[in-house]
Structure formats: C-alpha cells, structure tokens
A and B are shown apart, each in its own frame.
Chain A
Amino acid sequence: MEENKICYHCGLECPNDQIKINDKYFCCNGCKTVYEMLYENDLCNYYTIEETPGISQKDSVKRNLDFLEDPELLQKLIDFSDGKITTITFDIPQMHCSSCVWILENLYKFDKGVSNSEVNFLNKTLSVKFNNQETTVKKIVAQLDSLGYLPNLSLETNRDDKIKNELKRLYYKIGIAGFSFGNVMLLSFPEYLSFADIVEYEFQNTFNWLNILISLPVFLYSASEYYISAFKGLKKKIINIDVPITLGIFVLFFRSLFEISTGSGVGYLDSMTALVFLLLTGKVFQNKTYDSMNFERNYKSYFPIAVTIKKEGKETTIPVDKLEVGQRIIVKNNELIPADAILISANANIDYSFVTGESQPVEVVNGEMIFAGGKEIGGAIEVETVKEVSQSYLTQLWNSKAFDKKHESNIDITVNFVSKYFTFIILFIATSAFLYWMQIDINIAFNAFTAVLIIACPCALALSTPFTLGNTQRIFGRNKFYVKNTAVIEKLADITSIVFDKTGTLTETMKSQIKYEGKTLTSEEESIIKALVLNSSHPLSIKIAFSLQTNTRFDVGDYKEIIGEGISGTVNGKRIKVGSQSFTSSKNALNSDNNSTNVFVSIDEKEIGFFKIINVYRFGLKEIVNSLISNYKMFVLSGDNDGERENLINIFPDENTLHFKQSPHDKLNFISSLQDKHEKVLMIGDGLNDAGALVKSDVGISISEDINNFSPACDGIMDAKSFKKIKEFINFSRTSKKIIIISFIISFIYNLIGIGFAVQGLLSPVVSAVLMPISSISIVVFTTLATNLMAKKRNLL
C-alpha cells in the first residue's frame, strides 16, 4: 500500500489524497479551510515556525455562539471594559506550540477591532483587547473557533489572582532577604577574619548598627509568614515546623540587638538573614504549580454556560444558572444536556461518557428521561427540564459532604510530625544548659540558652522536605504525571488500597478493537461499506471506516441516517444498511454476543455479518496488576454492566473485588467504606462519574489521553501513556519519603555538633554563620542528588 500523505495543517494521516491545494495535502476540508484563511491573510508563517501546528478540524462542528450576546453573561466573562475598550481573557487549552502563540498574537490581522492579543503559554490563556465599536466577543470567539482554538468559556475561571499575588509577595520577600543577606555578610566579613583587629572600634560599631538597619525588613517582612503560620499552628495546639523556626529567628534577632547595643558582641544577623533567605528559596522550589492545569474543576466547567430555550415558539439563549424546571431547551449535536430532562423529540442518541464512562451512545425515545451530563449525538433535540441544574442526578454528587472538605493546603506531614518532638527536645536541652550554667555565671547561662535555640533552628530540617518533594514533583512531571502539590507525594507513599475505574482507565478510550464476524467480505463489499459509513459522523461509523483498508471509492446514492437506528444507501447498485440488528434485517439470523456493542450490515436486505466493538485493555495491564497485587488491596468499580466480568477476572484474580453497575454515588460510598476500615485509598479514574470518588479518596488521580483536556477535581493528572509506570510512581514516592528521613538524620547530626558548642557557651557568631549555611546547602545538595539518582535507577529520568 502506498504511504498515506500527512495533513499539511494538523499532521494527521490523510484518508485519501483528494483534498489538496497545489502540493499541500489535507486530511479534511476543515483543515483546508483554515489553511486558505491563513493564506489569504498572508499568515502562512504559521507553518514555518513549527511543522503541522494546526488543530485537526475533522470533528469540528458549527457551534451556536448566540449566548455571547447576552450582556449579563458577558459581564461575567470580561476582565475590564470602559465602554470603548474591553479586555477579556480566554482559556485556550488547544494551545500547544510556538506557532499557536504566533497566530493568536496576530489575531488583529483577522479582526480589525482587536488592538492587542497576548498569550500566556504556561497558563494557556489569551488576553484580548478590543474596540467595542468594531468587534464583539462573539465575533472574536467565532474567529478563534474557525482557527481551531475554541476558548473554554466557563464562568469558573482558572485564574486565581490570590495565588498570583501570593507568589509575587514571595518574590518580594526573597528579593529583600537576598539583598540583606549579601550586605550583612559583606559588613560582617571583617569579623570573620577576627584573628587580627583590623577594624577599629568605631567602624565596627557603625557596621553593626548598619547590619541591624539592613536586617530589619527581613525580620519584620520577609520572615513574617513563618510567625503567622507558627501562631496559627499554636492556636490549634499544633507545633508545626514553623514554631522552632520562629523561635530561632526571634532569638537570633533579639540576642544580636542586645549584643550590639551593649557593645558585648557583633550579633548573629548574618546567620539570621541567611536562614530566612534559604528558607524562602525552599518555598519557591516547593511552589511549582502546573498553571494550565486545573485540579479543582467541578461540573460547571463541563457544562455549557448558556442554553437555547424555546419560549412561545421563539428560540432565545439564557445563562445556564437561570434555567428553571419546566423549560423547553434545544440541544444540538455535540451539546451537553445541562439538567435532568424529558425528551420531547421523537428520539435521541445520548453519549453518557461523561457520566458513566461508557463510550457507546444510548438511544432514548420520546418521554424518556435524559440525565444531565449526557451529550446529544446527531440532530438537534428538544427536551423539557424536570430538575434544576444543581439538583440533577449527576450534579447532586457535588452536594455531597466530600466536596465540602476544605482543600488542605500544602502541609508536609512528616516534617510537622517530627517538629513536635524536636521542639520539646530543644527547649529541654536549652533549659538544662541554662540551669547548669546559672550556678556558675548568669551571663554564660543566658548565652548558652540562646545559643542552643539559635543553632538548633531547624533550617536544614525545614529545607529537606521542599527540596526532596519539589524535585520528585518535577521528576513525576517529566513522566507526564502532574501532581497538584508536594503533599500529594507524601500521601501517595502511604496508600494501602488502589481502586480503578474501568472504562477509560483500564480500557483505552481512543482505541477499541473492531472485529468483523460473519460471511467473509469481498474487497468490493468492503469498499461498499466504507463508502457508506464515511458519510456518517457517528463515532461507530468512523471507527468502522478506519478499520476497513480499501482504496476503491464508490459514490453513495439515496443516503439516509436514522438516528439511533443506522444508515442506509445505495452503493454500486446495491442496497446497503449498517446499524442495529432490527434496522438491518427483519430475520435476526445472526447470533451475536450480548457483551459487546455490535453493528450489523446487510446488503440487498440480506444480513451478512456484524462488526463487534471490543474494549481494549491498556497494554501490559495484567503485568501492572500482578506487580501491585501483593502489596495493595485492589478494586475495580465499573459503571457498566458485568459483560466484561470474564475478561476482568483474567486480570484481577479475586472476583469479589470487581464491582459493576456503580453509580457515581456508589463509587463515592465505596471509597468512604474503605476509609472507614482505615485504608488509605488511591483512586484512579477519568470521567465526571468518578468525580466524587476522586475527591473522597486520599489520593485521586485522573487519567487523561490528552492532559489539556478536562479532568475532574483531583490531586493529580496522569497522561494515559504513563499508566504503566504507576508502580514506579508509588514506589518512588516512598523512596522520596525515605530520603526525607535520611536528610532529617543528617540535619540532626549537624544540630548535635552545633549544640555541643552551644551548651558549653562557646558558640561564636562565626561558627554559627558557617554551620548554618553549610548544613542547609549540604541538605539541599543531598536531597537533590539522591532523588535524581533514585529516579535514574527506576528509569524515571
């Protein structure tokens, strides 16, 4: 067979070489149209920055964007408007390369009303500034859509200004701490060379007071978040790691102040500024977030923001949150049903893959109930809502308590557990030293007490967690496993049970195997079937078309598509029908297997066979399960019927761990019942139907074929290709925990050496200024090297 051409626009294989301009081939007319549009506007540079940068237009449908005319809705979408100039920010998840950036920033060439458009590639956002008189949001969105960059319009935005401002504040703090650290170090330098009295007293005194002045902003501003966190912890009667840090910083500062004002010494301000600077560096390192990914999505992000309703025979658009019970809504091809409703039209084809994970559409007839979250495939239908959006079957899940739980911030479990004991021990040592020296000299006693608190300030301890876990998070990210924050890694290390969703998690969504059974097809018959199914946009038709390898092309006459039934037409003089068994033949002569979805074919009213669509389990699933089963309890929750039971038993030996026909609520309850038995549960799922279980579980990981796609609220998003590495991920998170514990031991050894000096009252500022950075930096180096080394050993790097 001749090698197929690659689409010049999107890089997909072209099914034939019919669609072309000059020497450029396209996979579909949509891609060709985009090319022509770019060509007209002299923007073909798009194709030179990156090869085949385009987004496939194969599945593109005409979208109704009339709701973007609703002023109330627009008000919620736009960032700012003064009546003349408006700015709006779109989320564009399709953005993937520099060509995308280029074309999106050249938006003004398509629409003269746009004065400026700017991309933030990591956030995958585009902010557009436009003139109200010359263009509208609707026009801009339509333009973006025609290029393949339909924005994700949602009232729930990804852009959290609070997080952004927090990050900015962290930068200010680290900048100031760095400035103070450098300058205090410089002014303290003569003191380090104290073997000779090279600095006269007046200079030394000036330097010391200058040091206080420079380190004041660090004490008052840069370190403030540690005081706040320690105070908050104490209020809840928790001694977190910030308590000993705060204690250390206060003692460092006030002892220095005391020494300098009495002229008895030079203080430890260099140590203090270095400490704060290093701690903040750790914070920046830990603060890595995947901006473009949203780990907090709820159903609102999936649902349309506006719906078309029919009122007194007229169609109008209203925002979805104003939808009331009893309203008639029009749902077009590929649109979601926003609330539980009853079908008014004759019949419909509903794809519940969002809700149940089942990818084959379900047929619904007049008067039957359609649940929210289903997607209409085929023609437009009319439905009447019977429940409010928030009270619908699926969305009720979000009223569950699991979603109320306050999203814990990024708290490191291990280090805060250790810090409780650590703080008490340090206070005990300091007091003992104080009591011992008090009998000899009150000055030495005072010195020893503060010196212990200074040297024991757990800088190295506090840095080991962020650097280990921060690095682990990065290593996971390189393997296309993105975790929400570093605390997830610690939780992942502790899990005892693993729960899988079936469809989309254990099986591959994109690939389902097509098997033909029945009378052997001649190549003419294959060509006839292919010609017919190519006319239909039904997902099953597309799958069948792809499975047929034939190059002869026939024209189809008398083509008819009956929704929920099948397609028929006349090809090469023969009458052909493809669809359900009742549609293709009256005799039902063929025996089919009820466990799979079947598509029947008849030619000239004679049934000749059927295509069987079989779920394909992920490659190597059995090996993955076998490697995990000895260490973890494993369960499968499936929304489907038990047709796949036989296949699953081959993979999961214990039949009792397989649960079928699980509703989204059942899944959530299953997780809580496991947790009641003190299991730490890892849930791996994909669709909205797993949303409750993902939130309820200790670690919820969402699997996605395309990580830029929607995924429900979860702790981590994993690229489907990385699924086979799941065991490595769990094991590596345990290794990281071990590395943290080793680095704790190292930092305790440093502390012991330092305390050895301190209790004798011998801690000089120089020793402190040397020991503090050395211990911290060696911990950082150790954790980074150790995690990298272990990752290499496990083939994760």
Chain B
Amino acid sequence: MSAILVLIGFSLAVALFFLGAFIWAVKSGQYDDRYTPSLRILFDDTKHQVDESRDNTDK
C-alpha cells in the first residue's frame, strides 16, 4: 500500500511540472497572440537563416 504514497508523490511532481510549463508559456507571451503563428508556419522559411546571420554579425 505504501507504494501508493510514492506514486502519488511522483504524479504530483509530474503535474507540478506541467503547471510550471503552463505558467512559463503564459509568462513568455505565447498566449498573447494565438493567431499569427498559425499563418507564419505556412511561409517558406527563408527569414530566420538571414536573421541568424545578421545576429552573428551584430555580436
């Protein structure tokens, strides 16, 4: 029976991890714009390569 206590502790830890992940997602602004990313994913991804190279030269 005491195995249950271990399991409950474990399941709580997992649940807390996901709660933390959710809070992080909200905090980092992922819920601010719930529409544009769905458009952005359809574009051909030429932008970021250029962006990264630009960032490198900035540094």
Contacts and interface: CB of A to CB of B under 8 A. Distances in A.
B47 A98 contact: no
Interface string A159-200: 000001001100110011001001100110000000000001
B42 interface: yes
Nearest to A171: B26
Interface residues of B, number: 31
A200 B43 CA distance: 59
B47 A45 contact: no
B36 A175 contact: no
A101 B40 contact: yes
Interface stretch (A117-125, A229-237, A402-410, A626-634): A117-125
Nearest to B46: A106
Contact of A183 (B15, B43, B54, B55): B15
A38 to B, nearest CB: 15
B8 A187 contact: yes
B23 interface: yes
Given A115-B54, A175-B22, A168 B31 contact: yes
Interface string B23-59: 1001100011111100110111001001100110010
Nearest to B4: A203
A363 B19 CA distance: 66
B55 to A, nearest CB: 8
A767 B19 CA distance: 29
Contact of B50 (A101, A108, A172): A108
Contacts of B5: 203, 206
Interface in A123-177: 123, 164, 167-168, 171-172, 175-176
A442 interface: no
A101 B36 contact: yes
Contacts of A164: 32
Contacts of A102: 39, 43
B26 A175 contact: yes
Contacts of B1: 200, 203
Contact of A182 (B15, B31, B32): B15
B39 A101 contact: yes
A164 B15 CA distance: 27
A121 B36 contact: yes
B15 A168 contact: no
A98 B42 contact: yes
B51 A119 contact: no
A713 B44 CA distance: 40
A479 B40 CA distance: 27
A45 B5 CA distance: 59
A203 B1 CA distance: 9
A176 B36 CA distance: 27
B46 to A, nearest CB: 8
Contacts of A108: 47, 50-51, 54
Interface residues of A, number: 33
Given A98-B39, A115-B51, A121 B33 contact: yes
Contact of B19 (A120, A123, A176, A210): A176
Interface in A671-720: none
A49 interface: yes
A121 B12 contact: no
Contact of A105 (B23, B33, B40): B40
A123 B29 CA distance: 14
A116 interface: yes
A344 B27 CA distance: 56
Given A106-B47, A172-B26, A183 B35 contact: no
A716 B30 CA distance: 29
Given A102-B43, A120-B32, A176-B19, A168 B4 contact: no
A164 B32 CA distance: 8
Nearest to B9: A210
Contacts of B23: 172, 175
Contacts of B43: 45, 49, 98, 101-102, 105
A203 B35 CA distance: 47
Contacts of B15: 179, 182-183
A744 B36 CA distance: 39
A122 B36 contact: yes
Given A45-B44, A102-B39, A210-B8, 6 more contacts: A45-B43, A98-B42, A108-B47, A120-B33, A183-B11, A183-B12
The 10 closest A-B pairs by CB, nearest first: A121-B36, A98-B39, A179-B19, A171-B26, A120-B33, A175-B22, A122-B35, A101-B39, A121-B35, A102-B43
Interface of B: 1, 4-5, 8, 11-12, 15-16, 18-19, 22-23, 26-27, 31-36, 39-40, 42-44, 47, 50-51, 54-55, 58
24 contacts: A45-B43, A49-B42, A101-B39, A105-B47, A106-B47, A115-B54, A115-B58, A116-B51, A120-B33, A120-B36, A121-B36, A122-B35, A167-B31, A168-B31, A172-B23, A175-B19, A175-B26, A179-B15, A183-B15, A187-B8, A200-B1, A203-B1, A203-B5, A207-B8
